[in-house]
């Protein structure tokens, strides 16, 4: 999430996000992917800038950004799980993750299922772009 991007709501750099990666701020998007994904959900419409999101009134929701991947676009399951936990603790009811890997983790499955069953949080994850039937996680949980 590139805080201050002209087509996204500005967030409080102290309170509106979390990064589990040392020396990498949640509001600095090292490769632009997080900003792109946030724009799909919450770009400000009707401002003659960029694109309009699927949500035409960005004031009807709020972002809390959990930086699941580092600035290079890679990360760890532990980092992604920390980011999800921070989002849940901040009151998120929907979490969207554009990340995935080929390894199954029972610990991750238990955490994500627990947030759904106990906290009422819907977690949506990318299924990949390979156009095949391989399983990617967390989408395949």
Q: Quick one: DSSP state of residue 96?
A: E
Ramachandran quadrant class, 70 (left: phi over 0; alpha: psi -120 to 50; beta: rest): beta
* Predicted local distance difference test score (pLDDT) of residue 8: 85
Rounded to two decimals, the pTM is 0.88
Q: Is residue 100 within 8 Å of 127, Cβ to Cβ?
A: yes
Show the low-confidence residues of the chain (pLDDT under 70). Answer: none
* Predicted local distance difference test score (pLDDT) of residue 31: 86
pLDDT in tens, 72-90: 999 999 999 999 999 999 9
pLDDT in tens, 109-120: 999 999 999 999
| CA dist., res. 129 & res. 131, Å (int) | 6
Q: Is residue 18 within 8 Å of 86, Cβ to Cβ?
A: yes
Helix (H, G, I), strand (E, B) or coil at 31: coil
* Predicted local distance difference test score (pLDDT) of residue 59: 76
């Amino acid at each position: 999430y590139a805080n201050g991007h002209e087509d996204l709501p500005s967030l409080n750099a102290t309170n509106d996000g979390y990064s589990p990666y040392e020396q990498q701020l949640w509001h600095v998007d090292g490769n632009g992917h997080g900003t792109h994904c946030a724009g799909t959900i919450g770009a400000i419409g009707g401002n003659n800038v960029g694109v309009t999101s699927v949500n035409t009134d960005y004031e009807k929701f709020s972002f809390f950004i959990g930086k699941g991947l580092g600035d290079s676009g890679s990360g760890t399951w532990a980092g992604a799980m920390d980011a999800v936990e921070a989002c849940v603790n901040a009151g998120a009811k929907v979490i969207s993750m554009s990340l995935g890997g080929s390894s199954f983790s029972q610990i991750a499955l238990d955490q994500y299922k627990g947030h759904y069953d106990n906290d009422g949080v819907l977690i949506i994850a990318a299924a990949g772009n390979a156009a095949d039937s391989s399983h990617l996680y967390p989408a395949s949980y």
